[in-house]
Amino acid sequence: MKRTALYEAHRRTGARMVEFAGWEMPVQYRGIIEETRAVRQAWGIFDVSHMARAHFRGEAAAQFLSRLVPSDLSKVAPGTGQYTVLTNERGGVVDDVIVYHLAPDHWLMVFNAANREKDLAWFQRWQAEFTNPPTIDDQTEQTVMIAVQGPEAAARLSAHMNPALAEVPRFGTLAFEWEGMPLFAARTGYTGEDGFELIAPAEYGERLWDALLAWGATPCGLGARDVLRVEAGLHLYGHELTDDTNPIEAGLGWLVSERTDYIGAEPILQAKQAVPTRKLMGIVLQERGVPREGYPVLVDGQGVGQLTSGVYSPTLEQGIGMAYLPAALAKAGTPCAVEIRGRAIPALITTRRFLKRS
């Protein structure tokens, strides 16, 4: 099993470790509820070094990436990033990723740990189409990535590290040096809160982690990370996104441009124009219970889908989940039920915006 450069730090902090996508990762420190609350109310830090990071360099870098994703990358200015998906020929999703435009002819992609080998093979396959393909440099194991998330994250980081961080817009990036440590910061995350994801060379990892702890951040594990992303209605590959789901039914139509020159453009543009057959929706339990992945969703006693994710939301103090439902039923406010241990627990179909804030 692979270990991140922060493994020893996690042991010192009292983490409980689990296997995830071939990595030994912290699932929790003091408790998932406490960690979730810290990120919603203050700030927390997550070791996400297992996520894959690869640099694309060369004059065809943007052209190459544009072949792989439905987004319009000409709108992604240097110093910014874009959440998008890698699509296959059938219009399905190979992976969901963030691409960062670091400099002219230089892009960074962050993709899922579980898909690292698959994605690298995918890139290699499409490189052959190009006479001058970009070089692809997988830096996952040479670097650490720490997500710093929560309403206090930006203020804390800008106070302790660099005041310019406060000015970085959502999905903006900033490369800077802090006490001799080269850092890349992106104002992105996977929690529904404001915050940054920091990348540093692996040898600085523990120093960075310890500094964040010393400034009062709560260490958070994969358990809280999953709860936070479901509460935020965000997709997880292998759950809400697969090789057989298209971005339109997944509710990601907003990142599909009018371009027709990327892999899978035809089926995706068709799906965009067609009446959808199914749609990814939120489910909120109306009684006590914990909905989990795979549990059947019932409408009028009939099975209409199953949960792709489900958690107890400590923020809402309710069970919540997501499911692909027939488009005719996919209306917020429609009563449904989730079958838990053979019993139909009343629930409501909702949008994926579980945390509606005024």
Partner 1 sequence: MDTPAELRYTKSDEWVRVEGDVATIGITDYAQSELGDIVFLELPEVGRYLQTDEAFGAVESVKAASDLYAPVEGEVIEVNTALQSALEQINQDPYGAGWMIKIRMKDPSQVNTLMTADEYRAYRGL
What would the 3-class secondary structure string for 255-279 be? HCCCCCCCCCHHHHHHHHHCCCCEE
For residue 11, state whether it binds partner 1 (rule: CB under 8 A): no
Contact between residue 64 and residue 133 where contact means Cβ atoms under 8 Å apart: yes
Q: Nearest distance from residue 242's CB to partner 1, in Å?
A: 23
The set of residues, in sequence order, having a beta carbon less than 8 Å from that of 301 and lying 6+ positions away, is 337, 344
Residues 261 and 69: their CA atoms lie apart, in Å, by 9
**The only residue of 233, 247, 314, 321 in contact with partner 1, by rule CB under 8 A:** 314
Q: Nearest distance from residue 49's CB to partner 1, in Å?
A: 22
For residue 341, state whether it binds partner 1 (rule: CB under 8 A): yes
Q: Nearest distance from residue 314's CB to partner 1, in Å?
A: 7
Which of these segments, 167-175, 274-282, 310-318, 322-330, binds partner 1 (CB under 8 A)?
310-318
Nearer to partner 1, 104 or 346 (CB): 346
Subset of residues 261 to 290 that bind partner 1, contact rule: CB under 8 A: 288-290
Q: How many CB atoms lie within 10 A of CB 316?
A: 13
Q: Nearest distance from residue 50's CB to partner 1, in Å?
A: 18
Which of these segments, 25-33, 48-56, 142-150, 172-180, binds partner 1 (CB under 8 A)?
25-33
**The only residue of 3, 67, 207, 292 in contact with partner 1, by rule CB under 8 A:** 292
User: Would you give the binding string for partner 1 spanning residues 29-48, x where CB under 8 A is met?
Assistant: --xxxx--------------
Q: Nearest distance from residue 190's CB to partner 1, in Å?
A: 17
Q: How many CB atoms lie within 10 A of CB 54?
A: 20
3-state SS class at 27: strand
Which of these segments, 27-35, 64-72, 128-136, 201-209, binds partner 1 (CB under 8 A)?
27-35
For residue 81, state whether it binds partner 1 (rule: CB under 8 A): no
Cβ burial, residue 356 (10 Å; 0-12/13-18/19+): exposed
**The only residue of 28, 82, 246, 350 in contact with partner 1, by rule CB under 8 A:** 28
Residue count, binding to partner 1 (CB under 8 A): 16
Q: Nearest distance from residue 289's CB to partner 1, in Å?
A: 6
Q: Nearest distance from residue 232's CB to partner 1, in Å?
A: 16
From edge to edge, which strands make up the β-sheet containing 135-138?
Answer: 80-87, 93-103, 106-111, 52-57, 135-138
Residues 185 and 112: their CA atoms lie apart, in Å, by 18
Largest Cα–Cα separation, the chain: 62
**The only residue of 56, 237, 312, 354 in contact with partner 1, by rule CB under 8 A:** 312
Beta bridge partners of 17: 26
CA distance from start to end of the chain: 44
Subset of residues 199 to 228 that bind partner 1, contact rule: CB under 8 A: 223, 227
For residue 144, state whether it binds partner 1 (rule: CB under 8 A): no
Nearer to partner 1, 51 or 227 (CB): 227
Nearest to 248 by CA among 92, 89, 90: 92
What would the 3-class secondary structure string for 296-325 be? EEEECCEEEEEEEEEEEECCCCEEEEEEEE
Nearer to partner 1, 98 or 345 (CB): 345
User: Would you give the binding string for partner 1 spanning residues 90-129, x where CB under 8 A is met?
Assistant: ----------------------------------------
Contact between residue 92 and residue 244 where contact means Cβ atoms under 8 Å apart: yes
For residue 311, state whether it binds partner 1 (rule: CB under 8 A): yes
Q: How far is CA 169 from CA 165, 174, 237, in A?
A: 9, 10, 26
Q: Nearest distance from residue 223's CB to partner 1, in Å?
A: 6
Report the interface residues with partner 1, using CB under 8 A: 27-28, 31-34, 223, 227, 288-290, 292, 311-312, 314, 341
